[in-house]
Amino acid sequence: MTEQRVEDVDERALRRFVAVVEEGTVTAAAQRVHLTQPALSRHLRAFEHELSLSLFDRRDQRLVLNSAGRQFLPVARDLLAHLERARQAAGDIAAGAMSAITIASTGTTLRDVLAPFLATWQPEDPVPTVVERSSGEAYRALSRGADLAIGTELPPRHLHGLALVTLPVWAYVPPDHPWAQAGSIRLRDVVVEHLLLPPPDHHARHAFDLALHDRGVGLHDYTELAPPEIAQAMAAAGRGVAVVSDDPRFDLVPVRIRTGRTSVSIDLHAAWPGDHHADRQLLQIATRLRHFTRDRYAVPD
């Protein structure tokens, strides 16, 4: 079938073809598509002629899907699904709403923030797709089709944004570690331990490195591990102190890392395109996410 013939395929012809396959008989399919049986039979022959393709074998006044028809059936269904999605998207845009949403975030945010938040969604909320991006790529994903991005830096000025929550970067230690009952520890005391750190492009590592720079403190003994869960696993095995922002695992105890009167932390922001057709709905979702994260994660400094 040539490209031109694909472009010229009529939607009604596709629906009639699929109806015959799904109903099993031309008579039943005719009722479904509101045609008489002879009229539907004529339309099917015209459709096959248009495609230059025989889709059915005709046996004893019955239509039996042949090999070409079986191969064409998923193509027809896919085309109809694309048309339905196009209509849905057009309706959403006209109404300033979304029935589906794509969210870009880092892996840690996806697991520890977005997944628990999405578990609270109601049937009327849009169907979410979450794409994992590095911290520096989250906002750039908005120019590639994402509707909402969660990042650790202030969004660029051309985006609409909302500050979500400040999350601590923890020093995770086993329950029998001397710091386990401390609640917090000074940055200068942390760096004398063997540290288990995420790679430099990870947002927790970036915040930790920035705190080191600001306080004039250098790293001495450390191992870089990815993903952050591995750092926690090694801390649980007694191989060092994990410095990450993830939720605790392996019965580890979180300890705040103090830098004077404050502590090492990460600021989460939500951002979306300023000209997005569903700007109001995205603001509502971001506001709900802010309430959720602050109720669940905010820790007084």
Summary mean pLDDT of the chain: 88
| pLDDT band for position 95 (cuts 50, 70, 90) | low
Over residues 236-247, the mean pLDDT reads 94
Phi and psi dihedrals of 57, rounded to 5?
-95, 135
The residue ranges of every structural domain in the chain are: 3-95, 100-165+267-297, 170-263
Question: pLDDT band at residue 223, thresholds of 50, 70 and 90?
Answer: very high
Q: What are 248-271's pLDDT values in tens digits?
A: 999 999 999 999 888 999 999 999
Q: Which of the 8 DSSP states describes residue 70? A: H
Q: What share of the chain is helix, strand, coil (3-state, %, to 5)?
A: 45, 25, 35
Identify residue 149 by its one-letter amino acid code.
Answer: A
Local structure of residue 54 (DSSP, 8 states): -
How many Å is the Cα radius of gyration of the chain?
Answer: 28
Q: What CATH architecture is 100-165+267-297?
A: 3-Layer(aba) Sandwich (3.40)
Q: Please report where in the chains the tokens 């939500």 appear, as a residue.
A: 270
Q: How does DSSP classify residue 146?
A: -
Whether 138 shows a pLDDT value over 70: the answer reads yes
- Kindly indicate the confidence band of residue 93, based on its pLDDT and cuts at 50, 70 and 90: low
- Is 278:92 a contact under the CB 8 Å cutoff? yes
The CATH class for the domain spanning 170-263 reads alpha beta
Amino acid 3: pLDDT: 44
Counting residues of the chain whose pLDDT is more than 90, the rounded percentage is: 50
Same fold for the domain at 100-165+267-297 and the one at 170-263?
yes
Q: Which fold has domain 3-95?
A: Arc Repressor Mutant, subunit A (1.10.10)
Three-state DSSP class for residue 81: helix
Q: What is the pLDDT of residues 277-290, one digit of tens each?
A: 889 999 999 999 99
How far is residue 281's CA from residue 126's CA, in Å, rounded to a whole number?
Answer: 10
Whether residue 207 is predicted with pLDDT greater than 80 in this model: the reply is: yes
Kindly report, residue by residue over 177-188, the tens digit of the pLDDT: 999 999 899 999
What pLDDT does 94 receive? 63
Cα angle, residue 216 at apex, residues 195 and 300 outer, rounded to 5°: 70
Q: How distant is the alpha carbon of residue 281 from its chain centre?
A: 17
User: CA triplet 100, 104, 106: central angle to 5 degrees?
Assistant: 145
Q: What angle do helix axes 67-95 and 11-23 make, rounded to 10 degrees? A: 120
- Rounded CA separation 146/131 (Å): 8
pLDDT at 4: 42
Nearest CA to 137 out of 116, 101, 161, 107 is that of: 107
Distance (Å, rounded) from C-alpha 264 to C-alpha 266?
Answer: 7
Quote the CA–CA distance of 180 and 170 in Å, as a whole number: 12
CA gap 120, 254 in Å, rounded: 26
pTM above 0.75, yes or no: no
Alpha carbons 277 and 90: distance in angstroms, whole number: 11
Q: Is the pLDDT of residue 96 over 70?
A: no
pLDDT > 70 fraction of the chain, expressed in percent and rounded? 93
Q: What is the DSSP letter of 136?
A: T
Output the six-digit token pair for 101.
Answer: 């949403």
